[in-house]
Amino acid sequence: MDQPAEASRPAGPESLQVQVRSLAGREIVFDSEGFLSDFRQWTEEVAGILAQESGLEALTDTHWQVIRFLRDYYLQNGRAPLHRELKKGTGMSLLEIESLFPGGIKQGARRLAGLPNPKTCGQS
């Protein structure tokens, strides 16, 4: 499974380069940092595979609590939650969330939830 393949998009700035991977029986497009290019391509099975690749044996209820909050919030608001909203919505500190996911908040929780890669270079 899961052999990365370069997409047909012409080479350009790194932020525009994508990879198409076959995951959970679907062709899924990722950006150069491993974020899903299309939020709608996410499935729970995809999240599970990405979690395993990041070093987690399995996603626990606590992981799912964070992932589901991120996805629900994004679906309802069209953007990722603010830091304080993430804290309130999950009932966890950001420090807890950071330590829960290998890769932390951005490369871990946000990526596994299938949210877009934030455009600002310092955003989590």
Partner 1 sequence: MAEIVYLDNAATSFPKPREVLERMIDLYAAKGVSPGRGGYDLALEAEEMVSAARRRLCRFFGGDDPARVIFASNATDALNLVIQGLVKPGGHVVSSELEHNSVLRPLHHLRGKGLIDYDLVPFDARGFIDPGDVARAIRPNSQFVILTHASNVLGTIQPVEAVGAICRQRGIPLIIDTAQSAGVVPINLSAWGASAVAFTGHKSLFGPTGIGGLVLSRGFDVQTTRFGGTGIESQDPVHTQTYPHRLEAGTINFMGILGLMAGMDYLDSQGMEAIAQKERTLARRLWQGLAQIPRVKLYGTDRLDQRLAVILANVEGMTPADVAAILDGDFGIATRSGLQCAPLVHQRLGTGKAGGVRFSLGPFNTSEDIDLVLEAMGKICTGK
Q: Would you name the residues annotated as active-site residues?
A: 121
The yes or no reply on residue 123 touching partner 1 (CB under 8 A) is yes
In the bound complex, what is the minimum distance in angstroms from residue 35's beta carbon to partner 1? 13
Give the residue, chosen from 74, 106, 113, 115, that forms a contact with partner 1 under the rule CB under 8 A: 106
Per residue, the 3-state secondary structure of 42-82, as one string, reads CCHHHHHHHHHHHCCCCCCHHHHHHHHHHHHHHHHHCCCCC
- Which x/- pattern, by CB under 8 A, does the window 67-96 give for partner 1? ---------------xxx-xx-----xxx-
Structure tokens at 113: 């939830």
Which 8-67 positions form the footprint of partner 1 (CB under 8 A)?
A: none
Q: Give the CA angle between residues 83, 35, 53 to the nearest 5°.
A: 105
Q: Burial of 47 by CB count in 10 Å (0-12 exposed, 13-18 middle, 19+ buried)?
A: buried
Region binding partner 1 by CB under 8 A among candidate stretches 41-49, 56-64, 67-75, 104-112: 104-112
Beta carbons within 8 Å of 74's beta carbon, 6+ residues apart: 39, 80, 81, 113, 115
In the bound complex, what is the minimum distance in angstroms from residue 83's beta carbon to partner 1? 3
Q: Which residues bind partner 1 (CB under 8 A)?
A: 82-84, 86-87, 93-95, 98-99, 103-107, 120-124
